[in-house]
Amino acid sequence: MRVQASSLRKGNVVDLEGKLYVVLTAQNIHPGKGTPVTQLDMRRISDGVKVSERYRTTESVERATVDEREYTFLYHDGEGFHFMNPETYDQVVASPEMVGDAHYYLTDGVTVKLLTHEGVPIGIELPRLATFEVVDTEPSVKGQTASSSYKPAVLSNGLRTMIPPYITVGTRIVVLTEDGSYQERAKD
């Protein structure tokens, strides 16, 4: 489907010369003199190469049809990351390159949104928060609670993060999946 370049937003997927690109930033520029242009910073989905393109706002580009559905993570093996559609029980395999750092947050049964193009996964959207157990951290020092200092910790998923000094090994904590930062103690 062809759309005007000025209507593209972050997260849209476009088809340029048979290759799929995801839009990272889209900026409409209106100079005082001349034709307005749309500046697109994009990443090629197949190999991760970043490109920057400029289009006149009246030019059109081919927008790829992307299917966004919820999938349940099953397991990871040599082929890649296996997901199942909970409605149809169809399974898809996502490559490790496509999943990237999101693999830290993929635990058995977690529900994610997968973006697919013609049945091939091209993007993943994680839940906002995830709960993990602290498996390694420094012991807390008495009297250190007055300052708002944080100490390093390793979580059960292998991720390193900074936690408050009162959290000990074995405590389950909630982290933000965007950057792995500590949010709160788990309530379970």
- 63-118 pLDDT, tens digit each: 888 888 999 999 999 889 999 999 999 999 988 888 888 889 998 889 999 888 88
Distances, alpha carbon 12 to alpha carbons 25, 33, 114, 170, in Å: 10, 29, 14, 41
Bridge partners, residue 116, by sequence: 67, 121
Q: What is the pLDDT of residues 9-50, one digit of tens each?
A: 877 888 888 888 888 888 988 888 888 999 999 888 877 788
Examine the domain organization and report whether 58 and 23 are in the same domain: yes
pLDDT at 125: 86
Q: Which of 37, 63, 89 is the endpoint of a domain? A: 63
Examine the domain organization and report whether 177 and 137 are in the same domain: yes
Q: Where are the beta strands (DSSP E) in the chain?
A: 2-4, 13-16, 19-29, 37-44, 50-56, 60-63, 67-76, 81-84, 91-94, 111-117, 120-125, 129-137, 151-155, 160-163, 172-176, 182-185
pLDDT band at residue 141 under the 50/70/90 scheme: low
Query: Hey, what are 3's tokens?
Result: 């759309």
Examine the domain organization and report whether 93 and 120 are in the same domain: yes
d(CA 55, CA 61): 9
Domains held by the chain: number: 3
Specify the CATH number for the domain of residue 23. Answer: 2.30.30.30
Query: What letter would DSSP give residue 105?
Result: G
Examine the domain organization and report whether 20 and 34 are in the same domain: yes
Specify the CATH number for the domain of residue 145. Answer: 2.40.50.140
Examine the domain organization and report whether 107 and 138 are in the same domain: no
Q: Which of 125, 150, 169 is the endpoint of a domain? A: 125
Query: Hey, what are 143's tokens?
Result: 């009297």
Average pLDDT over residues 145-166: 84
Examine the domain organization and report whether 28 and 58 are in the same domain: yes
The whole domain housing 110 covers 67-125
Examine the domain organization and report whether 59 and 17 are in the same domain: yes
Q: Which of 125, 140, 155 is the endpoint of a domain? A: 125
pLDDT at 147: 59
pLDDT at 156: 92
pLDDT at 142: 66
pLDDT at 184: 92
Assign 104 to helix, strand or coil: helix
pLDDT at 150: 87
Examine the domain organization and report whether 59 and 71 are in the same domain: no
Examine the domain organization and report whether 29 and 43 are in the same domain: yes
d(CA 146, CA 165): 10
pLDDT at 171: 93
pLDDT at 118: 80
d(CA 42, CA 111): 27
